């Protein structure tokens, strides 16, 4: 993957499994990662801490993306994260 510096990646379900692996990869490639979670704030916090420990940028955000209003809020509020 190319450099994602100055890009923001919103990864849904990023607090574990495949979502976590994707978030970590995007961060290694330079993106600021929004770690979206719906249930486990602690797991999301651990993902953020791991990304930051590796020199990346990340923020955890709670949103149930099965709800249109929450999905819109997630994108609206975090798309400008840098």
- Nearest CA-CA partner of 55 in 77, 73, 31: 31
- What DSSP string runs through 63-75? --TTSHHHHHHHH
Looking at the domain assignment, is residue 62 inside a domain? Answer: yes
Q: What's the whole-model pTM score?
A: 0.89
Looking at the domain assignment, is residue 46 inside a domain? Answer: yes
- The 10s digit of each residue's pLDDT in 39-80 is 999 999 999 999 999 999 999 999 999 999 999 999 988 765
Looking at the domain assignment, is residue 60 inside a domain? Answer: yes
Domains identified in the chain, total number: 1
Provide the residue range defining the domain that includes 37.
8-78
Looking at the domain assignment, is residue 42 inside a domain? Answer: yes
pLDDT at 81: 65
């Amino acid at each position: 993957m190319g450099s994602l510096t100055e890009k923001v990646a919103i990864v849904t379900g990023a607090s574990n499994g495949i979502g976590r692996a994707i978030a970590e990869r995007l961060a290694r490639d330079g993106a600021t990662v929004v770690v979206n979670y719906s249930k486990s704030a602690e797991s999301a916090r651990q993902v953020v801490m791991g990304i930051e420990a590796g020199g990346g940028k990340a923020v955890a955000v709670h949103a149930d993306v099965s709800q249109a209003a929450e999905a819109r809020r997630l994108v609206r509020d975090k798309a400008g994260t840098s």
